[in-house]
Structure 1
């Protein structure tokens, strides 16, 4: 997969290094010459250019990319990069970094963003997930406003203990995608029994999150 990362600061470089390690073809675009250090991620292609300029993106052949990641420290830049990538170059997947949580509402498909990643929100979610048992925690928004990755840890007194996955009356707009149990990753099957302490992760629409919460607490839907 060919991936372009706009912004070669600490975040952009870290993303590029991880993608290169996973055998993806990566291009880093950075307008600040002082930040252009090819030795930092030598396997990546480095381009000294302004990712907000259409001509620069054309020269970098952005239309040949499968994914664009707008990872600069400026939300305005990330929005412009996302919009150009989606509307001018028809990039299939656009991921954008949100630096200021107050701007998160802007990072939608109207600006070409498929996935918005808010570091403050994710850190808060990780803290909440670490201390919350029995409560639903939103970990990540997928395709802004359409679906979320949410997590619930079943408490010791869960009424679902011993019940099979197929016996849990989840709403149609929710899918149980994985169960974490004692260091194991379980891809849930219909007859798998649930246990106290199970970390259950769902992909679900925001409008059914409360229903999932009620179902897992054994309350009537």
Structure 2
């Protein structure tokens, strides 16, 4: 935990192996941390600054997300190709659903307004669109190799997937039932995380190597509309 006023670490909480993603459920003052190799989800009470519960699974856990409309936490159970639902009121698992032919559902982003989840399938390089109301996949689109983190721009209705192979796969949500791939935008290899500014639509991509050499650099891309390219 970091005190933003002092800009220093004030506390460390032990979790299971390899904490790899987190989601904050603000109304509940809880942070949900996926411990990928620990096959667990640690639940942190941010008012008490302590772990209040750990959920254990028979699968590695992928990226979690909080749905502010449904008021649920979603977690990818990536070894089982299952989409799990946690109720933050009770911190119990209230649903487990198949993601169909998506193999290794790891990254996740949400369009809560239209009840859609976007899953990065590491095993067979698909972007799966999952209907959160009917609890089933409705579309599968091809990804570049090595997909990881997924982000959604709600203004442009774009889905971005960072891929280790040196690309950001970009998709367009034409409406809640129709999606299309725009391009695999070339970036440095091993880019596997992203952030999207919902106001400016800029895409932030941290780089760990540049032209094959170790680096620690943040590259910022401007979103482009009405042209062949999607970023610049």
Taking structure 1 as the reference length, what is the TM-score of the superposition?
0.32
Taking structure 2 as the reference length, what is the TM-score of the superposition?
0.31
For the pair shown, the structure with the greater C-alpha radius of gyration is: 1
Question: Which structure ranks higher in relative contact order (CA pairs < 8 Å, sequence separation ≥ 6)?
Answer: 1
Q: Which has the higher strand share?
A: 2
